[in-house]
């Protein structure tokens, strides 16, 4: 029987690449996004469904669960970015980061775990970031939103293992080709008051010209490996830079 995977944040970047990877692998794919647009995939996929989802809205999540029906795998990929000096970040921005990157992931797990527990099978994949593998400047609030999911996933893996349900972490490195910058709630230039601009300049130059980066296909490959893993491995760093950080930690 053909299996079904649901991927959040699937309109671009890692989510879109993962959807295409699993379609190529013969899976049924449900691509969830805030503004549903099947044209992003170019058409021609009989096993693709595109559904609306806002992970910060309980009614939207409930509607998705109803529309999606039974699934074998959930990939929590949807997220927003936030880079800048922490003291310049309004707490409303911090709350947005936590609401999407942390509570949104928890809410999606909460919504789909019951059907997996009853079947005693299924896989949940939470996509975090390489900021969880090493401390990085100008990313304090964003890191907190992702580190929370690392701890959440590790604990949940113990709970769900009793029911034959697996949960995995995929930790992508830095990928300038994704829409992370576009998904930032506030431009980084607005979050560098006072002397932070001088401090941030070489850091931002490093972001603009990284020595090693992560490709979208690296993340899709890591998610594929996580979904098919039978060894009990929890962490799957994705991309050469993330792998190097994981090995050094």
Asked whether residue 121 carries a pLDDT value surpassing 80, the answer given is yes
Residue 179's pLDDT is 46
Residue 186 has pLDDT above 70, yes or no: no
Residue 180 has pLDDT above 50, yes or no: no
Which pTM value belongs to this model? Answer: 0.93
The answer to whether the beta carbons of residues 117 and 163 sit under 8 Å apart is yes
How far is the C-alpha of 221 from the C-alpha of 73, rounded, in Å? 15
- The active-site residue, picked from 14, 142, 196, 199, is 142
Q: Is the pLDDT of residue 182 over 80?
A: no
Tokens describing residue 235: 């962490």
Residue 94, helix vs strand vs coil: helix
Q: What is the per-residue pLDDT for 153?
A: 98
Instruction: Give the start-to-end residue ranges of the domains of the chain.
Output: 4-248
Alpha-carbon distances, residue 44 vs 3, 21, 30, 126, 224 (angstroms): 19, 15, 15, 28, 22
Q: Is 164 within 8 Å of 152 (Cβ atoms)? A: no
CATH of domain 4-248: 3.40.50.720
Buried b (16+ CB within 10 A) or exposed e, 62-75: eebbeebeebbbbb
CB 126 within 8 A of CB 169: yes
Please state, for a pLDDT cut of 70, what percent of the chain lies above it. Answer: 94
SS (H, E, C) 200-225: HHHHHHHHHCCCCCCCHHHHHHHHHH
pLDDT of 93 strictly over 50: yes
- Annotated active-site residue 142? The verdict is yes
Q: Specify the pLDDT at position 99.
A: 98
HSE-up (13 A, CA, CB side) for residue 118:
5
Lowest mean pLDDT among 19-23, 171-175, 207-211: 207-211
Separation CA 193–CA 149 (nearest Å): 29
Q: How far apart are CA 49 and CA 28, in angstroms?
A: 8
Distance, in Å, from the CA atom of 214 to the CA atom of 244, rounded to the nearest integer, reads: 11
How far, in Å, CA of 179 to CA of 171, rounded? 17
């Amino acid at each position: 029987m053909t299996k079904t995977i649901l991927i959040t944040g699937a309109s671009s970047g890692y989510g879109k690449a993962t959807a295409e990877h699993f379609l190529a692998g013969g899976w049924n794919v449900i691509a969830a996004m805030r503004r549903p647009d099947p044209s992003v995939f170019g058409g021609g996929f009989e096993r693709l469904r595109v559904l609306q989802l806002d992970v910060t809205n309980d009614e939207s999540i409930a509607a998705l669960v109803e529309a999606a029906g039974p699934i074998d795998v959930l990939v929590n990929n949807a997220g927003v970015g936030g880079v800048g000096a922490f003291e310049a970040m309004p707490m409303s921005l911090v709350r947005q980061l936590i609401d999407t990157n942390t509570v949104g992931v928890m809410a999606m797990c909460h919504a789909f775990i019951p059907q997996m527990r009853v079947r005693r099978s299924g896989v949940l994949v939470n996509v975090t970031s390489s900021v969880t593998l090493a401390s990085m400047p100008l990313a304090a609030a964003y890191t907190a939103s992702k580190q929370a999911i690392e701890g959440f996933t590790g604990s949940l893996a113990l709970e769900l293992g009793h029911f034959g349900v697996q949960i995995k972490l995929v930790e992508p490195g830095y990928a300038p080709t994704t829409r992370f910058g576009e998904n930032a709630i506030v431009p980084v230039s607005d979050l560098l008051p006072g002397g932070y601009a001088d401090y941030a300049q070489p850091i931002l130059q490093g972001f603009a010209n990284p020595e090693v980066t992560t490709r979208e296909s690296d993340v899709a490959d890591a998610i594929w490996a996580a979904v098919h893993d039978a060894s009990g491995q929890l962490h799957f760093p994705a991309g050469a830079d993330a792998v190097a950080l994981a090995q050094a930690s």
